Structure 1
Amino acid sequence: MADRPVAPVPTAPAGLSRRAQWFIETAGIRVRRHDLRLHHDAWIEHGVPAAEIERATAFQDRWGGLALPPSAFYEGGPRILDADCPEETPGGGWSFPAGDCRASMAYSFEIGPDGAFGINAHRWTPLHASADGWVESLALAAHARRLAATVTRVTREDVDTLDLRAFDPVPEVEGATDSWWRGKDSLIAVYRGEAVGLDAPQCLEAHIYEGLGEWSPHGG
């Protein structure tokens, strides 16, 4: 068996917002993805539980080989979404890589024991509750950049002074450490992952997109 080829123009997985589907199918590229089933027996021999191999394989079937435009933070995020051998985590449970970084970095992108998408640096830090949430956040950022009349970058302790009482969380991004908030004609992305994962409060950052027009919960 060889690695399974896929169409270069990707079809979005089921269960995503219309915005994320459009983003994947217009801005994404599929490359040849590794078939993790080829490594099943070898990984079992090295003590990797079958359930963890199945979890990584399910991720690979859904997301493997998908290259998306870079994120606005985290040095662009994974270059290509791509799983590999699961490893036992110091805190218990198993995680596996979510894709290689675009540049040399102090952390890696992983799928954690509970399925969250996050970074592993000094500690495991979940950014979104799933890889779906990460992709939804990329799609929302692209949507906001395209339509916003103004974009304001807020950093460090000023992020904690943002008044979000008039905003609602955006549920589809499944925010964990990171989050998105919507107002009448604005969006706010709050990136706390590096500040938490690297014990680096200077990395705290938020992006405020204003002048978006009427909010559409599913986008396009």
Structure 2
Amino acid sequence: MTADDCLSPLPVGPAGLSRRAQSFVEADGIRLRRRDIRRHRDAWIGHGIPDAEIERAAAFQDRWGGLALPPAPFYEGGPRVLDADCPEGSAAEGWSFPAGDCRVSMAYGFVIGPDGAFGIDADHWTPLHASTAGWVESLALAAHARRWAKNVTRLRGEAAAALDLGGYEPVPEVQGVTDAWWRGKDSLVALYRGEAVGLDAPQCLEAHIYGGLDAWGLHGG
């Protein structure tokens, strides 16, 4: 990445986010030069990719392309930059497209699935959040929780699986599928199940518990 690639901090985040996520994107996000993937339309159609799938990837690029956000607290930080590329798949299995390159060498990539879910392509497709907006909301919530929590506890494997979430309620804006956030009386819990499911590796299950939160820490933003 060069200085010429960097445009500016985002004056306005993508529409449809919560106030907390909007503020997070505007304060901490950088919009890099967005690639025009529509210029590949004819070549991709020539390889049998449906026009509707090309347009779906292009719509992702219009909304999210070039957006660089701070590293996620799991998944080795998530995509370096949100960036669509050539769709892959079939009419029978459905079509997906990459969501952006990894920050480090990894055993899986980040993908937008046939139904628009944001997930990982590991040993098999594993949706993490029902949309890219849900992924961004989860990043914003993690940043918010780290700032306001008086203590943070991390559990892995069996300890995370045994975590009792009775009395907690799901946080809807993250649109959790395999991953989810939960809100309790004075704590927030992030449950990262994607690697455990996608790699068939239960030892990779991880929970982050943000404790000692007041009303603003739980609901602020």
The answer to whether the superposition gives a TM-score over 0.5 is yes
Aligned-residue offset at 1:91: 6.7
The unaligned stretches of length 5 or more in structure 2 are none
For the residue of structure 1 that corresponds to 2:191, the secondary structure is strand
Aligned-residue offset at 1:37: 1.2
Partners of 1:119 and 1:91 in 2: CA distance: 20
Q: Which residue of 2 aligns with 1:153?
A: 154
Aligned-residue offset at 1:55: 0.5
Percent of residue pairs identical: 72
Partners of 1:176 and 1:91 in 2: CA distance: 23
Aligned-residue offset at 1:211: 1.2
Q: How does 1:18-97 map to 2 (within 5 A)?
A: 18-88=19-89, 92-97=93-98
Q: Which residue of 1 aligns with 2:112?
A: 111
Does structure 1 residue 126 correspond to structure 2 residue 122?
no
Aligned-residue offset at 1:219: 3.0
**Residues 45, 89 of structure 1: alpha-carbon distance in 2 compared, 3 angstrom cutoff:** closer
**Residues 217, 115 of structure 1: alpha-carbon distance in 2 compared, 3 angstrom cutoff:** farther
Q: Which residue of 1 aligns with 2:9?
A: 9
In 2, are the aligned partners of 1:8 and 1:30 still within 8 Å (CA)?
yes
Query: What RMSD over aligned residues (CA atoms) do the two structures have, in Å?
Result: 1.6
Could you state the TM-score of these two structures normalised by the residue count of structure 1? 0.94
| Number of equivalenced pairs | 216
Could you state the TM-score of these two structures normalised by the residue count of structure 2? 0.94
Partners of 2:48 and 2:220 in 1: CA distance: 44
Summarize deviations over 1:81-128 as a string: whole Å, max 9, x none.
000000016970000000000000000000000100000011000000
**Residues 98, 218 of structure 1: alpha-carbon distance in 2 compared, 3 angstrom cutoff:** farther
Shifted more, 155-164 versus 17-26: the winner is: 155-164
In 2, are the aligned partners of 1:17 and 1:219 still within 8 Å (CA)?
no
In 1, are the aligned partners of 2:148 and 2:217 still within 8 Å (CA)?
no
Summarize deviations over 1:135-179 as a string: whole Å, max 9, x none.
000000000000000000011011121111111000000000001
In 2, are the aligned partners of 1:93 and 1:113 still within 8 Å (CA)?
yes
Q: Which residue of 1 aligns with 2:170?
A: 169
Partners of 2:174 and 2:212 in 1: CA distance: 21
- Give the counterpart letter for 1:203 in structure 2: C
In 2, are the aligned partners of 1:125 and 1:177 still within 8 Å (CA)?
yes
